[in-house]
Structure 1
Amino acid sequence: MTDAHLRHRFHRRSLEQQRPLSTVTMAFTVFATLLFVLARNLVAGPAIALSYRIACVLFLGLLVTGVSKARSTAVFGSLGVAYTLVLVVVIALNISGLEQPMLWALPALLVIPICSAPLWLTPTHFFAGTAIFYVSGLPLLFRQPQIHDVNVVAWLWVLIGAPTSAVFHFGFYWFRRDHFLLENRLAQLAATDPLTGLQNRRAFMEQAERRLAALGESTKVCAIFVDIDSFKSLNDQFGHAAGDQTLSEVAQVLMDQTNAQDSVSRIGGEEFAVLRRGGLASALELAERLRGAVACIARPDGYVTASFGVAEHRVGESIMALLDRADEALLRAKQSGRNRVCAERAIPLDPLQLLGNGNPGDPNDPAASVRPQWDGYYLTSHFQPLYSLSHQKQVGFEALLRGEQSDGTLVPPAVLFAPRPLSDEGALDRASHAVHLANAQRLIPGEAWIFLNILPATFVAKGYADQLAGIVRLAGLEPDKIVLEILESHGGSVDEMSRAAARYREHGFLIAVDDFGAGQSNLDRLFRIRPDFVKLDGELIRATIPGTQQSILPKLVSLLHQAGMLVVVEGVETTEELILAVESNVDFAQGFLLGRPAAQIAPPDSVNRLIDRSFDVIAQGRAHLHALFESKVEPYRFALRSAADALLSGIGMDDAFADLAQHELCISCFILDDRGRQIGPEVPGVAGGKLGESLEPVADPRDARWDHRPYFRNAVLLPGVPVASSPYLSLASGRPCIAVTVAIQSPEMRSVVGTELDWSAPHLPWPASE
């Protein structure tokens, strides 16, 4: 018991245990003293007035009451000393005037120190109380005649009472001490994680509840949840010994970086928790320090990392509610890439307040715009129109969040959407939905769609589908007019988004995938989520087939249409891009050419005329393009027809194809049987020598079968008529090519005669898109 703090705890614990026993024992002593006083009145001889002796008994009763309420060992010991002194006074008053006072005093003087010895809390109290008792009792002996019998009694009183008292006191004191040490040891074992030495979950929760209950109104406390990243892989690959070592090292980091006032615990598995006094900013700073320190811990395959979630206690909140919010922040840190710190979600904006209780403002009044304050800025909505190219009209509006200064100056997007330590992008994302819907109810025509951008993490958040549906209806809208545009971003697996999409569709929402062709937005995402709309990244408009100037957009649109998805092209900025979108059968388009994002809706008339003119340009150009293509292919059709006639008349392949092979674009000439297999060797053309040998393993077509190709099927359907295919990527040459083929019937068999033309030069015309 050398530790002063431990000794103090022992004495406090003894006080709690001794108080009831001392109260009962001393109360019984008060009753015995009262009998002692009353018995004195039955004996003859002069006596001190009864009222004085009764007053002493009453004072003893008051001291007993004080002992029952004592809250410190010092007060408890002082009351005990006062109690013994009053007992000595009562004895002295009660034996006054008796012929044989020692017969009355000796039993009390002997019994009192012995019986009270176990009740003293500390050796100091015992020595002080016992010494004062004996010193105050000596005058009772010295007042008696100094005869041999009195001296013997005095020595017996001291020699019997004092040692017996000491034995009783220290025996009981050691018993209480050993019991406390055992209890303390068991409590430590029950409250400590044996591997790391930190508090376990039960002890942490109990201590946290006590701390929160004792908080002042202005005192702030934060919880930090810590989870070691990829811990299961560490155990699986390198064994549990490596995992245990990592847990111990992470625990040591937590202890080194925190102070004595912080509660640090291993909650379970690879999860830890810290309860820290201070605000959210201080807790986030600590979490970042912890993250950096943990990242310096080595593991066999690199370095350990951990994810952190931080939440600040709110007035009246339980520890479980606080930890739930910290755990939610930790989950977002995991979903957004691990090895990072995420703060709790900000308290969401009240949709009721934003939506003005469903009363739309004047659409022509800019002052009616909903502009809630957010982190020093004002949030507002700008809407960019989407046009149906076939209908040549506005059919929807994408809501885009903007930040404004108090003077109306726009905040740069890089500033508005920059990561902030005290909030998360998900909170801003959810707030934007309420803002957009509040503004859309007064601006957007009732038949138009509203495209709301939504982060994947928000999209998959539990319960958000129901919450958003309620906000939409509160705005006086219906979910079937809302298109949720899933942004290209981390957060939420494809499986989670697929399940979430089903929940939103139950309410009637439409789903769009944004920026297809960039980052996370790929074909797997499309086919798992099955969106109603696919928004193509603007760069896809300008993407061309390698080695040509032909756009890949028509083929991509055709693929998405076959998958049952409508196509939106973003970033249309020039008339040429608009014409390409129309020519590619794109369903909807948006971009600066068709309308910039703005707080007010612009009239669509001029854009409608622009789209109509694009259709006219395409109609005129399609005929011209077809004529150019046909004029370029016609010589090859004629030469192929001549070669076919020569073959039917019995002329050999080399001679029959001699003229055709000399044409500028001819790669090769060939004959296919009725199953699409090549008959004999192909005759090389002049363009064949330009091709490289990178595809040499598949360059020989003699073992291949080609009856699945359109150029074979089309020739069979029109026997005797030379047909030209659309450009395709040749497996033999690796270049865009065109095949001209004709089906002929000889006495022996039906065959398809053809030639493959090199169509990779940029100046060559391509036929109009299907």
Structure 2
Amino acid sequence: MLSTATQQPFDAGLRDRFHRRSLEHQRPLSTVTMAFTVVAFLCFVGARNLVDGPAAPLGYRLTCALLLALLVLAIPRVRSTWSFGLIGVAYSQVLVAGLAMNIVGVTQPLLWTLPAMVVIPICAAPLWLTPTHFVTGSVLFYATAFALLFGQPLTHDVETVVWMWIVAIGVPTSVVFHFGFYRFRRNHFLLESQLAQLAATDPLTGLQNRRAFVKQAERRLDTVTPDTRTSAIFLDIDNFKSLNDRFGHAIGDHALYQVAQVLMEEISADDSVSRIGGEEFALLLGDGLTGALHVAERLRHAIAAIERPDGRLTASFGVAEHRSGESIMVLLDRADEALLRAKHSGRNRVRAERALPREALQLLADDGSDENGAPVRRHRWEEYYLTSYFQPLYSLSHQKQVGFEALLRGEQDDGTLVPPAVLFAPRPSSDEGGLDRASHVVHLANARKSLPDDAWLFLNILPATFIAEGYADQLAKIVRSVGLEPERVILEILESHGGSVDDMSRAAALYREHGFLIAVDDFGAGQSNLDRLLRIRPDLVKLDGELIRATGHGTEQPILPKLVSLLHLAGMLVVVEGVETAEELILAVESNVDFAQGFLLGRPAKEIAPPESVHRRIDEAFDVIAQGRAHQHALFETEVEPYRVALRLAADALLAGVAMEEAFARLARFERCISCFILDDAGRQIGQEVQGPAWTTDGASLQPVANPRDARWDHRPYFRNAVLLPGVAVSSNPYLSLASGRPCIAVTLALQFAAERSVIGVELDWSALGLPWPAAE
């Protein structure tokens, strides 16, 4: 097989490669041979000086030797076959001229020149690279030699000897030497080329094998300029093992061959395609990521048209674009990662590379414009684009925008939004934090263009990303690179798995060293709890939207005011999310919430909306609260006043010496009265309580604490407030009764009896719907 291959047609391209290869081989041999000739010529000059008679000047002959030496020194620097042939011709002409000067004045010139006339063409014959060089150089050598050496008349015998040596021996021998050696070099080159081709070719498909592809790709990437775009496509035939197992390897081999034919037909001659191994193929294209994705999609459709015994072939594709300084193996690894995601997401699809964290600054530096000259606000991620939507947050007290939460959105090429279930779906065999880190880059790049200079940027961050080693330093570097300061960025830790509280507490300290503020998102949902807050110590707490609608059991009273008060006591500012109605906004203001966010105040959008209408809406909420607080207070006082009057009458009766049951008889008949009681100076109950209509024993589960006589109550606000205002009937805020488990109100009055101070009071059932509650503190 190899021997027949050497007889293949010798086309022009192959001939050029052969001559260039011959030049590499011949250069050392020619240098040594021609240098030896220079030495021989100098010996010839020395021998001529030993013979008497007139001679050409020695300087001329040594000049010829010097020219010969310079031509020899030029050989290693020759890069083209044409130059190499020109040096050979020039060398032969100088050599003949030197011979002619050396025989001036000798009696038998042919004895000096005839050996050189025969030996020089024969020795030079194998050194000529091409037949053209050989014929041209030999003809010029003989023509010059006869013109210079044979100018004087010769006898018949001398002519016979000269022609016999030159024509019968020298010329035929040099021809045989040249063409024989030329044919040997040619066959050796063809054999070498065929072996190299076999070593670089996959025998089944005819494509490059992995080694040849990598080697060629390395050469190509070494020569790319910064503005040259190159991409790799990695593809894998889906379910190929089942094809071999069910229908045999012959069917599988045929499928591989058909896929190879599709790849060669669909790509240009300047691109590279290879069978990497098994059912995997790789392509290197001179195009960017978008163009490579189109090529991959075209190849996917073409392969899907190939039939297999049980249907049609399909293939999955991963695409990655080359980055400056990146090796071919790193590029293929990124394309392979995209291929794995294509496999795990259902096969027969194309997936693009993911942006890596270390390319964040490079992404930020890309301030491109679209066809209309507008700044680019989205960046490629897999088969769609990532972009930022901003939702405003308002300070309720200042009644103005103070920050914006950056929310990630995915867009198709035509601008259609990608469903969140697709955008945030778990990706097997991939870095789950990759999208999170990429979102930070996108948001920061867009915030630079969109946000007011004095506004906070709220960045959502997964716990796993938050605690990642070195990410605090990296994020600070990215923030500063866009012209922001970390003090303007609030990191919003999402409600998610991925980090212990201890790890997040340590990480929070690192972010604070850079100036970042910390927020905890969705407090009141999932894993969030007070322990998490107290150990992380966030600057802000974002309450889950459901908390604004949460009410106490059986009362329908909002719990938001007390929760906000608790968080303020812990030293944390409060953001309430999910404000969607005017009533919820009023409740947020009344609950002393610091910041609010929700559809009522602004929906997420690419562009920042004017805030004036929202400012008016918040101001109206304050007006409603100011008007309602007085009305609410009046309603509450109206409801409680009859109990105060009755309690003061009971106090007068007790001071007059009337028995407890008789003194409280009128008060105990009030509908909401649970019980009337007397507490001593230490807050312990004196005697039996007088039960009223609202007394009940239904709270069986609270039976161990149902007897109020077993406890001290001087720590309760209703006791302390009464002691502070002796002689004045005071009412408490609603509280949960320990004895009955119901919301209650206590009306109390401090009295000074002869022996000691006491507090008398009545506990009222305040669990009925519609009862007025005091305005929030």
Q: TM-score, normalised by structure 1?
A: 0.55
Matches within 5 A, 1:397-412: 399-400=405-406
- Tell me which amino acid in the other structure corresponds to 1:120: W
Change (3 A) 1:38 1:353: closer
- Helix, strand or coil: the match of 1:221? coil
- The reply to whether residue 203 of structure 1 matches residue 221 of structure 2 is no
The Cα of 1:35 is off from its aligned counterpart by: 1.4
Change (3 A) 1:121 1:458: farther
Structure-2 separation of matches of 1:193 and 1:223: 22
Q: Which residue of 2 aligns with 1:658?
A: none
- The reply to whether residue 41 of structure 1 matches residue 12 of structure 2 is no
Unaligned runs of 5+ in 1: 355-371, 404-410, 487-493, 517-522, 525-531, 542-567, 582-587, 616-713, 719-765
Q: Which residue of 2 aligns with 1:507?
A: 507
Q: Which residue of 2 aligns with 1:432?
A: 443
- The reply to whether residue 263 of structure 1 matches residue 272 of structure 2 is yes
Q: Which residue of 1 aligns with 2:298?
A: 289
- Tell me which amino acid in the other structure corresponds to 2:442: A
Q: Which residue of 2 aligns with 1:304?
A: 314
In the TM superposition, what whole-angstrom CA distance separates every residue of 1:639-659 from its partner, at most 9, and x where no partner exists? Answer: xxxxxxxxxxxxxxxxxxxxx
Give the count of matched residue pairs: 552
The Cα of 1:151 is off from its aligned counterpart by: 0.5
In the TM superposition, what whole-angstrom CA distance separates every residue of 1:225-266 from its partner, at most 9, and x where no partner exists? Answer: 223264576568657836554443333222212222222233
- Tell me which amino acid in the other structure corresponds to 2:191: L
Structure-1 separation of matches of 2:467 and 2:272: 33
Change (3 A) 1:401 1:534: closer
Change (3 A) 1:231 1:380: closer
Q: Which residue of 1 aligns with 2:15?
A: 7
- The reply to whether residue 176 of structure 1 matches residue 208 of structure 2 is no
* Correspondent of 1:250 among 244, 247, 259: 259
Q: Which residue of 2 aligns with 1:660?
A: none
Confirm or deny: 8 A CA contact 2:360 2:478 kept in the other structure: no
The Cα of 1:73 is off from its aligned counterpart by: 1.1
Change (3 A) 1:108 1:307: same
Unaligned runs of 5+ in 2: 1-7, 367-372, 380-386, 420-434, 509-517, 528-537, 550-574, 589-594, 630-698, 704-768, 770-777
Matches within 5 A, 1:156-555: 156-215=165-224, 220-228=228-236, 230-231=238-239, 234=242, 238=246, 241=249, 244-279=253-288, 281-299=290-308, 300=310, 302-314=312-324, 318-319=327-328, 323=332, 339-342=349-352, 345=355, 348=360, 374-375=375-376, 382-385=390-393, 399-400=405-406, 415=415, 430-433=441-444, 452-453=459-460, 467-468=474-475, 482-485=491-494, 498=498, 507-508=507-508
The Cα of 1:119 is off from its aligned counterpart by: 0.7
The Cα of 1:61 is off from its aligned counterpart by: 2.3
Confirm or deny: 8 A CA contact 1:451 1:483 kept in the other structure: yes
The Cα of 1:274 is off from its aligned counterpart by: 3.0
Structure-2 separation of matches of 1:510 and 1:240: 61
Q: Which residue of 1 aligns with 2:35?
A: 27
Change (3 A) 1:308 1:159: same
- The reply to whether residue 65 of structure 1 matches residue 76 of structure 2 is no
Q: Which residue of 2 aligns with 1:148?
A: 157
Confirm or deny: 8 A CA contact 2:64 2:98 kept in the other structure: yes
Change (3 A) 1:433 1:203: same
Change (3 A) 1:234 1:225: farther
Change (3 A) 1:155 1:54: same
- The reply to whether residue 109 of structure 1 matches residue 117 of structure 2 is yes
- Tell me which amino acid in the other structure corresponds to 2:48: R
Q: What RMSD in Å do the two structures reach over aligned CA positions?
A: 6.2
Confirm or deny: 8 A CA contact 2:122 2:174 kept in the other structure: yes
Change (3 A) 1:156 1:376: same
Q: Which residue of 1 aligns with 2:82?
A: 74
Change (3 A) 1:377 1:119: closer
Confirm or deny: 8 A CA contact 1:451 1:485 kept in the other structure: no
In the TM superposition, what whole-angstrom CA distance separates every residue of 1:369-417 from its partner, at most 9, and x where no partner exists? Answer: xxx98417999874445999xxxx99x97714599xxxxxxx9999496
Matches within 5 A, 1:89-104: 89-104=97-112
- Tell me which amino acid in the other structure corresponds to 2:60: Y
Change (3 A) 1:336 1:435: farther
The Cα of 1:23 is off from its aligned counterpart by: 1.4
Change (3 A) 1:505 1:199: farther
Structure-2 separation of matches of 1:15 and 1:500: 69
Change (3 A) 1:433 1:246: farther
- Tell me which amino acid in the other structure corresponds to 1:249: Q
In the TM superposition, what whole-angstrom CA distance separates every residue of 1:556-592 from its partner, at most 9, and x where no partner exists? Answer: xxxxxxxxxxxx99766447999999xxxxxx99633
- Helix, strand or coil: the match of 1:198? coil
Change (3 A) 1:477 1:117: closer
The Cα of 1:197 is off from its aligned counterpart by: 2.6
Moved more, 498-507 or 169-178: 498-507
The Cα of 1:432 is off from its aligned counterpart by: 0.7
- Tell me which amino acid in the other structure corresponds to 2:350: R
Confirm or deny: 8 A CA contact 1:226 1:272 kept in the other structure: yes
Confirm or deny: 8 A CA contact 1:351 1:471 kept in the other structure: no
The Cα of 1:37 is off from its aligned counterpart by: 1.6
Confirm or deny: 8 A CA contact 2:318 2:337 kept in the other structure: no
Confirm or deny: 8 A CA contact 1:284 1:343 kept in the other structure: no
Structure-2 separation of matches of 1:46 and 1:59: 24
Percent identity over the alignment is 47
Confirm or deny: 8 A CA contact 2:256 2:279 kept in the other structure: yes
Structure-2 separation of matches of 1:273 and 1:94: 67
Q: TM-score, normalised by structure 2?
A: 0.55
Structure-1 separation of matches of 2:467 and 2:343: 14
- Tell me which amino acid in the other structure corresponds to 1:311: E
Change (3 A) 1:82 1:427: same
- Helix, strand or coil: the match of 2:194? helix
Moved more, 275-284 or 19-28: 275-284
Structure-2 separation of matches of 1:101 and 1:53: 16
- Tell me which amino acid in the other structure corresponds to 1:275: L
Moved more, 85-94 or 35-44: 85-94
Structure-1 separation of matches of 2:13 and 2:267: 21
Q: Which residue of 2 aligns with 1:85?
A: 93
- Helix, strand or coil: the match of 2:232? strand
- Helix, strand or coil: the match of 2:230? strand
- Tell me which amino acid in the other structure corresponds to 1:507: A
* Correspondent of 2:599 among 592, 595, 599: 592
- Helix, strand or coil: the match of 1:109? helix
Confirm or deny: 8 A CA contact 2:319 2:335 kept in the other structure: yes
Structure-1 separation of matches of 2:471 and 2:312: 38
In the TM superposition, what whole-angstrom CA distance separates every residue of 1:319-378 from its partner, at most 9, and x where no partner exists? Answer: 556556655666666677661253674964689999xxxxxxxxxxxxxxxxx9841799
The Cα of 1:178 is off from its aligned counterpart by: 3.0
Change (3 A) 1:66 1:471: closer
Structure-2 separation of matches of 1:123 and 1:465: 72
In the TM superposition, what whole-angstrom CA distance separates every residue of 1:585-614 from its partner, at most 9, and x where no partner exists? Answer: xxx996334665667695967668989999
Structure-1 separation of matches of 2:188 and 2:415: 63
Q: Which residue of 1 aligns with 2:694?
A: none
Q: Which residue of 2 aligns with 1:489?
A: none
Structure-1 separation of matches of 2:245 and 2:57: 91
Confirm or deny: 8 A CA contact 1:77 1:125 kept in the other structure: yes
Structure-2 separation of matches of 1:237 and 1:463: 48
Confirm or deny: 8 A CA contact 2:230 2:321 kept in the other structure: yes
Change (3 A) 1:186 1:257: same
Structure-1 separation of matches of 2:468 and 2:305: 33
